[in-house]
Chain A
Amino acid sequence: MPRRRPNGPIEDHVFPTQIEAHVITPGPDPHLHGFSVEGDLALHYRFPELVQVALTGVPPDEATGRAFDIALQFLAPLASAEAPTHAAILARICDARTSSILAVASIALAERARHIVARHEELLKWLDASIGELPTPCLARGAEDSACVGRLRTALARVGVEVPGLTLGPDRWTAIFMTLHFAGLRRPAQLETALVMASLAPTVAEAISHVPSVLTQYPMNLPAYVYEEDP
């Protein structure tokens, strides 16, 4: 038998014996914020609405549920040029396990989400206050922005939803944040989570469509690097 070391600070301190849970109940018939997932939410709500319950604690009404669903779809696709998908493709080319590709994609998506949400801090304050004109940096800057916001308004209108602010000429990201805000997601942690979960499956799908270990098909000089010696 290995000899035991004398007590240290962890043995000599009294700690709780249970881990606390605030959202998910353990055991069979799990509940989210008090709502049975299998006996209630699965019967009456779609998956995006379950996510809203998880993130806000409140079951959405029809309008906010639809708005969130549509916002997630607008957020979902990230082409190979975007860093999370690019990173996931590189993991695939390195013949990483699917779990590792998922982990790489999740890390890059989370970093991207943090970056985007931080960039929109002023917009989020404006959305909470709901007063004054839309800040100038949030206005559409071209036909592509306007066309995207038009498609978003069309998709929302088809399910009878009108998100306040979309008529003010917002750019694409502002319009999506307006829709997420309407859907009840206000805090950076909620928004970042929505961004990550929206894109995870398409990002990994793009990565695993590539053939592993085929190194010559990857453009190593895209973008080009120029090495400059320090010393």
Chain B
Amino acid sequence: MSNEDLRTGVGHAEWGDNNFRGYSVARDLAGREGVTSLLALAIAGRRLAEDERLMLDDLATATHVADPRIWPLKLARVTSAYGGSHAGVAAAIVSADGARLGHQATGRAAELLVQLRAGFLTENGKGPESGNAILEDHCRRLLANQNRPVGFGVPFRQRDERVDILTDRVAARGRSELPYWRLYAAVGETVWRIKSVRPNMTLASAAVFLDMGFTPAQIGPLMTAIGASAFWANAFEGAEQAPACLQTLPEGSVNYVGPAPRRSPRADRALSK
């Protein structure tokens, strides 16, 4: 192998079959894997146990909020307004990369939980139920450094209904006592007590993923992928409608607050000649 060769663990095209992440599509995957578990295999490179697959299916369902007026979904609508659904989805996904708002932020929320947990371990805390003073101290420091840490804040409502749906599903799947879910619940309660800010879906989802062993770097893209059906729903319907009122907003819809009309220096010079 030359130095220029690239290694891939993703896939290999073969005669009569294809290999994906080390598995024969024909013998190992076809008839056994669903869409959510294939996405997990694609990004994390491991197959899910059945209870994990069901939990991720629940998470994908619970996270569904598809109202076309919500910012990332509106973006899909506006971009698909000329009839191209794929462009709408692509725009929504690209805009999520590194953004504070949207599914990809679940990865950053996961980083936060990992840091908090590491803090417990390094300070000999016994865990979230211990406290407590250590947890409270961590949360206060977090809030001092960031007014609204990633994973917290629920726009326009008291609590994130998706979190409540997910919480029920986590309990139904017998996963409420797993370490990151317990940490998430304790951090959520502590921050609420200190600052009256509730955790949102990104923090709760991050805990579910972390309890399955996914890394924060995997969690952002995986959440974007399994949550993409709301993008598709909006981009598809939006492209079908291709509404003129989204191609151009109705007259009077724009409030210009920039500089008043003025002449450029060259125009001034031309006039003075």
Chain A residues in the interface with B (C-beta under 8 A)? 8-10, 13, 16-27, 31, 33-36, 40-41, 43-45, 53, 57, 59, 61, 99-100, 103, 107, 223-231
On chain B, which size bracket covers the interface? 35 or more
B9 touches which of A17, A41, A100, A227 (Cβ 8 Å): A227
Give the docked Cα–Cα distance between A13 and B69 (Å). 13
Q: Closest residue to B265 on the A side, CB-wise?
A: A59
Give the docked Cα–Cα distance between A228 and B21 (Å). 9
Q: Is the CB of B264 within 8 A of A22?
A: no
Provide the B1-40 mask, 1 if CB < 8 A to any CB of A, else 0.
1101111111110000001011100000000000000000
Nearest chain B CB to A107 CB, angstrom units: 6
| B273 contact set on A, CB distance < 8 A | none
| B266 contact set on A, CB distance < 8 A | 44-45, 59
Q: Do A40 and B156 form a contact, CB below 8 Å, given A103-B90, A223-B5?
A: no
Give the docked Cα–Cα distance between A43 and B267 (Å). 8
Q: Closest residue to A36 on the B side, CB-wise?
A: B261
Q: Is the CB of A19 within 8 A of B90?
A: no
Nearest chain A CB to B6 CB, angstrom units: 5
Contacts A/B (CB < 8 Å), 21 sampled:
A16-B255, A18-B255, A19-B254, A21-B257, A22-B258, A24-B258, A26-B256, A31-B261, A34-B261, A40-B267, A43-B270, A44-B267, A45-B266, A223-B6, A224-B2, A224-B4, A224-B5, A224-B6, A229-B9, A229-B22, A230-B21
- The A interface, classified by DSSP as helix, strand, loop or mixed, is loop
Q: Assuming A10-B70, A10-B156, A107-B94, what are 7 further A-B pairs, CB within 8 angstroms?
A: A22-B258, A33-B258, A59-B266, A224-B4, A224-B6, A226-B7, A230-B46
Q: Do A18 and B11 form a contact, CB below 8 Å, given A43-B267, A45-B266, A107-B94?
A: no
Q: Closest residue to A44 on the B side, CB-wise?
A: B266
Q: Is the CB of A227 within 8 A of B19?
A: yes
| B255 contact set on A, CB distance < 8 A | 16, 18-21
Q: Is the CB of A40 within 8 A of B6?
A: no
Q: Is the CB of A230 within 8 A of B45?
A: yes
A225 touches which of B6, B23, B45, B252 (Cβ 8 Å): B6
| A230 contact set on B, CB distance < 8 A | 9, 21-22, 45-46
Give the docked Cα–Cα distance between A26 and B256 (Å). 8
Q: Do A21 and B256 form a contact, CB below 8 Å, given A10-B156, A99-B84, A224-B4?
A: yes
